[in-house]
Chains A and B, each alone.
Chain A
Amino acid sequence: MLKSIAVRISQGTQYIPDPRTATPVGFRGKPVIGATACETGCSACTAACPTQAIALEPVRIDLGRCVMCGDCEPVCPSAKLSFTNDFKLASTNRSALVVSESRPAPDPIQVSAELRKRFGRSLKLRSVSAGGCNACELEINALSNVNFDLGRYGIDIVASPRHADGLVLSGPITRNMAAALQECWSAMPEPKFVIAVGACAISGSPFEGSSAIERSFLDRFAPSLYIPGCPPHPLTFVCGILDLLGIPG
């Protein structure tokens, strides 16, 4: 009993009071595309990028493909690229994930009146990993720990698709998992929606071109929310879903 109390005292208060104003020290998050001009004919950044996330003229970075490895930053002779610890990267719109000098961040998420009405006070999520490397999965797990504590907003991860409102998809969707993913989705009651977590789920980019990937599920059921990162920081997820449902911090 005394030991238990001692552990409780050491534990202290761990939850992040307002996830929207948190500062993850050191986090390599949103890339910033500076104003300096590119050297003529230079394509060092696109060559260094492992996931073809960068396009040129003008320089654009697709956060849906970017794994935030930072490999582009040191190779740029014009020092045009850098990374900040900004974790607010989520978007409801796939094309809005492309950032550039003139459009430095994804558009702020518009509250969905429909989703807010149905799920604003209680949202149950079912996680499906379809080729995820266990990094996204660990970060999805972390959403429920004492730090991020998503449960305080009425948002929980549930064990059965029958209980779920949203499907949290991670991984590039392997051929071997495509059927099980479809079955899980079919087992979820309407109304329901998809949340794509990580570069693999959003674009398949880390495993693009692999013959073991089969992404037609996403052609049939477009995600309502995209959570970029490799893996995404839990704060990216928390703030994305709170913004979508219009939940105050």
Chain B
Amino acid sequence: MNFSQPLLVLQTSGIAPTSLQELVRACADRLSAGDRILAFYGRPNGGDRVLVTAALTDSSGHISVFRAHAERGEQYPSLTPQHPGAQMFERELWEQMDVVPTDHPWLKPVRFEGHRQQRMTDYPFFSVRGQEVHEVGVGPIHASVIEPGHFRFMCLGEEVHHLEIQLGYQHRGVEAQLLRRPPLSLTSTLESVVGDSSIAYAWAYCAAMEALSISAVSVEVDAVRGVALEMERVAMHLASLTGLATDIAFLQGGATYGRLRTAIINASMRACGSRFGRGWLRPGGVRFGLPDELRQDLLATLAAFAADFAEINDLMLSARSVRARFEGVGVVSKLDATALGLVGLVARASGVSVDTRTSMPGRLYGTHSMPLVTETTGDCWARLKLRMREIDESVRWIRHILNESGLDLRAGMLRQPERLQPDALCVSVREGCRGEVVQVVETGGDGRLLHYKVQDPSFQNWFGLALALRNNEISDFPICNKSFDLSYCGNDL
């Protein structure tokens, strides 16, 4: 049995900062041994000083934390050439704190924050040279109703040799904003960091606040939060399936998945008042429980859903035209996905066993386990099928919880913590619909927040989309993009 927690609290006095060079060496050793990075960032530490924090995890879900003193402008040998999965983290550390990885092969702005704001036109695009080469730029505003981002395709004929993705248009200054209000009243801000993953973000935050205030929540609270999170996953995977069906003009799929998503998010609304789960979770518990009547209502909704969902899946997967459009398109190999440190559904579709619900199950998933489901081919077809399978697993899990007669979920259960312990660091992880949502919260001597690090799985995964497009046709971009269905604001913060 694995009892790893998706959470780690440490007294900051217990983690003596080393030099930056030592931290990087320690990380390199761990990465060579098969660990992966959960978080790697810096925060201001007075004047030009920077405190760098790295959190790594091994395959059994154990989290280890390293810290180092650095200075703005300080250089260190980049991890990326040996461990490409570090590339985004090193770029962010450079952009936010001016700590410079030497020999980083792709040192470009992550989101144009700070003094780079409004300098979006300065992006150093890679350029492919050759007589017949041409470039196609798309965005930031796209044809459909979607967040903004710029895509630049470097093509030979119809074939894409390289796709460069420039993000940052959505940058709202989230991390700074989280330090402006009292630490225990940040839920609504976290719910709108990535608004389609409100539950995952709110849960990671609530778990951090509860751990930092040493207040335990009941198994019933866990169960209600778990139901909320899986409802969110089902809803978002359905949104992706709607888009995938629409993008290949499989209209019956588009109409049906859209209708099924309405049923799921309306059920969440009956539980908590919002189609996106806003206001459901708060530090110390949940504002709304699942009274028996609602429990029956959810079970009935899911039973009706499961039957119709199986029917449309069967139609979609058995249509040869659907298979022809998705199979073999936008392939990310397992080797590349592992090397790039991809996470969540996208990585699992390439056969990588990464799901924090199984690697760090904690009490909830330790008792009510969630199977790890993967595909092997890493193409759009795999990501399509995996979304369907993950929905099936989520529905099965929710029904299991709702049928568990030992769990009394009736009342809203909320005991608001009062204050946070001082000088502590908390790493909190939740497996949202796209993968692991990571938050690292640090308190100072007075128990106030010193730093709030937010990280969406899209942060690592956007580069996977760029890779998926290589040697594909430009006309296959929409389905590749939708099969990844990453968050722009999650990257841009």
| Partner-B contacts on A (CB < 8 A) | 3-4, 6-8, 10-11, 14, 24-28, 48, 50-51, 67-71, 74, 83, 127-142, 145-147, 157, 159-161, 171-172, 174-180, 184, 200, 206-207, 209-214, 230-231, 233
Q: Which of A3, A28, A171, A176 contacts B117 (CB 8 A)?
A: A176
CB distance from A142 to the nearest CB of B (A): 7
* A-B contact list, 6 entries, CB within 8 Å: A25-B270, A26-B273, A134-B194, A175-B118, A211-B173, A231-B275
Closest-by-CB residue of B relative to A50 is: B188
B198 interface residue per 8 A CB criterion: yes
Tally of contacts, chain A with chain B, CB under 8 A: 205
B132 interface residue per 8 A CB criterion: no
Closest-by-CB residue of B relative to A135 is: B195
Known: A67-B278, A83-B273. A207 touches B172 (CB 8 A): yes
State A116–B425 Cα separation when bound (angstroms).
Answer: 58
Chain B 243-284 per-residue mask, 1 if CB under 8 angstroms from chain A, else 0: 000000000100110110010001001111111101100100
The answer to whether B141 touches A184 (Cβ under 8 A) is: yes
The answer to whether A179 touches B256 (Cβ under 8 A) is: no
The answer to whether B287 touches A133 (Cβ under 8 A) is: no
Known: A138-B239, A147-B259. A71 touches B188 (CB 8 A): yes
Tell which of B172, B174, B488 has the most Cβ of chain A within 10 Å.
Answer: B172
Known: A4-B252, A177-B140, A210-B177. A131 touches B112 (CB 8 A): no
Tally B residues with Cβ within 8 Å of A: 69
Q: Which of B168, B176, B195 contacts A211 (CB 8 A)?
A: B176
The answer to whether A212 touches B143 (Cβ under 8 A) is: no
Q: Which of A27, A69, A132, A214 contacts B188 (CB 8 A)?
A: A69
Chain B 155-182 per-residue mask, 1 if CB under 8 angstroms from chain A, else 0: 0000000000000111111101100110
State A79–B275 Cα separation when bound (angstroms).
Answer: 25
Closest-by-CB residue of A relative to B180 is: A209
State A36–B326 Cα separation when bound (angstroms).
Answer: 61
B487 interface residue per 8 A CB criterion: yes
The answer to whether A28 touches B252 (Cβ under 8 A) is: no
State A83–B312 Cα separation when bound (angstroms).
Answer: 37
The interface residues of chain B lying within 8 Å CB-to-CB of A177 are 140, 148, 169-170
The answer to whether A140 touches B259 (Cβ under 8 A) is: no
Known: A28-B273, A206-B188. A212 touches B117 (CB 8 A): yes
Question: What 8 new A-B contacts, CB under 8 Å, besides A26-B269, A141-B144, A211-B173?
Answer: A48-B185, A50-B189, A67-B192, A129-B145, A135-B276, A175-B118, A176-B111, A230-B278
Known: A50-B181, A132-B489, A212-B173. A147 touches B262 (CB 8 A): yes
The answer to whether A134 touches B147 (Cβ under 8 A) is: yes
The answer to whether B252 touches A7 (Cβ under 8 A) is: yes
State A67–B274 Cα separation when bound (angstroms).
Answer: 11
Tell which of A206, A209, A214 has the most Cβ of chain B within 10 Å.
Answer: A206
State A65–B316 Cα separation when bound (angstroms).
Answer: 43
CB distance from A29 to the nearest CB of B (A): 9
From residue 191 to 246 of chain B, which have CB atoms closer than 8 A to chain A? 191-196, 198, 239, 242
State A28–B171 Cα separation when bound (angstroms).
Answer: 28
The interface residues of chain B lying within 8 Å CB-to-CB of A11 are 255-256, 259, 308
Closest-by-CB residue of A relative to B111 is: A176
State A70–B273 Cα separation when bound (angstroms).
Answer: 9
B404 interface residue per 8 A CB criterion: no
Give the 5 A-B residue pairs with the shortest CB-CB distance, closest first: A135-B195, A28-B273, A133-B195, A212-B173, A159-B143
The interface residues of chain B lying within 8 Å CB-to-CB of A200 are 192
The answer to whether B118 touches A178 (Cβ under 8 A) is: yes
B95 interface residue per 8 A CB criterion: no
The answer to whether A137 touches B145 (Cβ under 8 A) is: yes
Tell which of B189, B256, B279 has the most Cβ of chain A within 10 Å.
Answer: B279
The answer to whether A141 touches B145 (Cβ under 8 A) is: yes
Q: Which of B169, B189, B487 contacts A134 (CB 8 A)?
A: B487
CB distance from A135 to the nearest CB of B (A): 3
CB distance from B321 to the nearest CB of A (A): 12
Tell which of A26, A134, A145, A230 has the most Cβ of chain B within 10 Å.
Answer: A134
B364 interface residue per 8 A CB criterion: no
CB distance from B313 to the nearest CB of A (A): 10
Chain B 468-493 per-residue mask, 1 if CB under 8 angstroms from chain A, else 0: 00000000000000000001110010
Known: A11-B256, A68-B278, A134-B194. A3 touches B314 (CB 8 A): yes
State A75–B315 Cα separation when bound (angstroms).
Answer: 51
Closest-by-CB residue of A relative to B412 is: A74
CB distance from A148 to the nearest CB of B (A): 9
State A214–B117 Cα separation when bound (angstroms).
Answer: 11
Q: Which of A50, A131, A141, A209 contacts B170 (CB 8 A)?
A: A131
Chain B 303-322 per-residue mask, 1 if CB under 8 angstroms from chain A, else 0: 00001100110110010000
The interface residues of chain B lying within 8 Å CB-to-CB of A6 are 311, 315
B33 interface residue per 8 A CB criterion: no
